C-alpha cells in the first residue's frame, strides 16, 4: 500500500441537483446543531469537532435548552457505549438522520470505534457535511488514517471508507436506503446498532413503522435507539406542535408520541423483542450528583418547572432483537 499522503485524500465527482423537499425538517437539523454547538461552547460537554461543522450562534440559548441537550447527548452516548462494550466493538452503527453529528470522531478518540460507522441524511445535509470533512483536516485525517487506499472517492452524496461512510438518502425510500448501505459494505450478519434522534416524528406512522420493521428484519442481532417527543397530547405538547407548524414543520408522526407505552408498543409491534423507554426528566434525575452540580453551576436557571415540563416531553427509547449470548437485553440507561 502506498503511504504518501501529499495529494489531497478526497477526490470528488460532480454532485446531483439539490433536493428541495422537506425544507422544514432539514431546518430542524440546523436548529439542533446550533443548540449543541452553543452548549459545548459554555462547557456542558467536550466536543472538539463540532466547531468544524457548525457555526457558533450569536443568540444565547436558554439554560433549560442547554440542559436538555446535555441529557440527550449523555443518554444516547451511554446506550451506544453499552452496546459497544457488549459486542466488544465487533459491530456496526447506522445513524439515521445523523445531521452534523460528531459521534464517529469522538468514538475514535476513545478507541471505541465499531467495525464500521454509517451516517444517513438528506442529500443536501450530506453535501454540506462532506464539504466540511473535505476542507477540515481535523475531520478528514482520522478517516484517511483508517483507510487502506491513498484516496477516498466521494461520489455525489456518498463518501465510503473502510471504517466510516456517509450517505445521502431518503429514509422513507427503504429500497434506496438498503441499496446505498450495501454499496458501502453494510454487513447484515454483524450486530448492528441503529440510531434515530428526532427523526421518526417527521415521518407518518406508517413510514416510521416500515423503517423500524425493516431494521428488525434486516439484522439478526440488533439494537435500536430512538430519541424524540412524548406526552404530546397535553397543552404543553400542543404548544410545541403549533410552534413547529408556524415554521412550516409538521410533526407527521406525533400520534405515536402519546406516551412511553405507545413508543414501546411501536417497536414491539414491528419486530423488536424487547423495548424500554424513559422520559428525559427521569434520565436527568438519575445523573450522578457531581455531574449535576457541574452542569448546574454553568449558568443560572430561573424556572426549574420549565425544565421539568420540557424534559417530560422528550424520551429515550431502546429496543433489542437477538443477541442473547451478548447480553443485549441487559442494556439499560
Q: How far is CA 327 from the centre of its chain?
A: 23
Q: Which residues pair with 154 in a beta bridge?
A: 12, 159
Q: Is 150 annotated in some ligand binding site?
A: no
Sheet order of strands, 92-96 included:
10-12, 152-155, 158-160, 164-168, 116-121, 92-96, 192-197, 222-229, 314-321, 274-279
Q: Is 171 annotated in some ligand binding site?
A: yes
Return d(Cα 250, Cα 240) in angstroms, integer: 11
Q: Is 72 annotated in some ligand binding site?
A: yes
Cell of 156: 455525489
Return d(Cα 137, Cα 330) in angstroms, integer: 39
Number of other CB atoms surrounding residue 140 within 10 Å: 19
Q: Is 43 annotated in some ligand binding site?
A: no
Report whether 295 contacts 41 (CB < 8 A). Answer: no
Whole-Å CA distances, 214 to 134, 264, 267? 32, 17, 11
Angle at 324 between CA 200 and CA 267, to 5 degrees: 20
Extract the annotated binding site.
72, 97, 170-171, 197
Extract the annotated binding site for S-adenosyl-L-methionine.
72, 97, 170-171, 197
Amino acid at each position: 500500500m502506498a503511504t504518501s499522503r501529499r495529494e489531497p485524500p478526497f477526490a470528488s465527482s460532480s454532485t446531483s441537483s439539490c433536493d428541495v423537499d422537506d425544507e422544514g425538517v432539514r431546518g430542524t437539523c440546523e436548529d439542533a446543531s446550533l443548540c449543541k454547538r452553543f452548549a459545548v461552547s459554555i462547557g456542558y460537554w467536550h466536543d472538539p469537532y463540532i466547531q468544524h461543522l457548525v457555526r457558533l450562534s450569536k443568540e444565547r440559548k436558554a439554560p433549560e435548552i442547554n440542559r436538555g441537550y446535555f441529557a440527550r447527548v449523555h443518554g444516547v452516548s451511554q446506550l451506544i457505549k453499552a452496546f459497544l462494550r457488549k459486542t466488544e466493538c465487533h459491530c456496526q452503527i447506522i445513524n439515521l438522520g445523523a445531521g452534523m453529528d460528531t459521534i464517529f470522531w469522538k468514538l475514535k478518540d476513545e478507541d471505541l470505534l465499531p467495525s464500521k460507522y454509517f451516517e444517513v441524511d438528506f442529500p443536501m445535509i450530506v453535501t454540506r457535511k462532506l464539504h466540511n470533512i473535505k476542507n477540515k483536516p481535523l475531520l478528514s485525517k482520522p478517516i484517511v488514517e483508517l483507510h487502506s487506499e491513498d484516496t477516498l472517492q466521494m461520489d455525489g452524496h456518498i463518501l465510503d471508507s473502510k471504517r466510516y461512510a456517509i450517505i445521502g438518502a431518503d429514509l422513507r425510500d427503504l429500497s434506496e436506503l438498503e441499496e446505498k448501505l450495501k454499496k458501502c459494505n453494510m454487513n447484515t450478519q454483524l450486530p448492528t446498532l441503529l440510531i434515530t434522534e428526532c427523526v421518526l416524528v417527521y415521518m407518518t406512522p406508517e413510514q416510521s413503522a416500515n423503517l423500524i420493521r425493516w431494521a428488525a428484519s434486516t439484522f439478526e442481532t440488533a439494537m435500536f435507539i430512538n430519541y424524540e417527543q412524548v406526552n404530546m397530547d397535553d397543552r404543553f405538547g400542543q404548544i410545541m406542535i403549533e410552534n413547529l407548524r408556524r415554521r412550516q414543520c409538521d410533526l407527521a408522526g406525533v400520534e405515536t408520541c402519546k406516551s412511553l407505552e405507545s413508543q414501546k408498543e411501536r417497536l414491539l409491534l414491528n419486530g423488536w423483542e424487547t423495548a424500554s423507554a424513559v422520559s428525559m426528566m427521569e434520565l436527568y434525575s438519575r445523573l450522578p450528583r457531581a455531574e449535576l452540580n457541574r452542569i448546574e453551576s454553568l449558568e443560572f436557571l430561573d424556572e426549574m418547572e420549565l425544565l421539568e415540563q420540557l424534559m417530560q416531553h422528550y424520551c429515550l427509547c431502546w429496543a433489542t432483537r437477538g443477541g442473547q449470548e451478548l447480553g443485549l437485553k441487559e442494556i439499560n440507561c
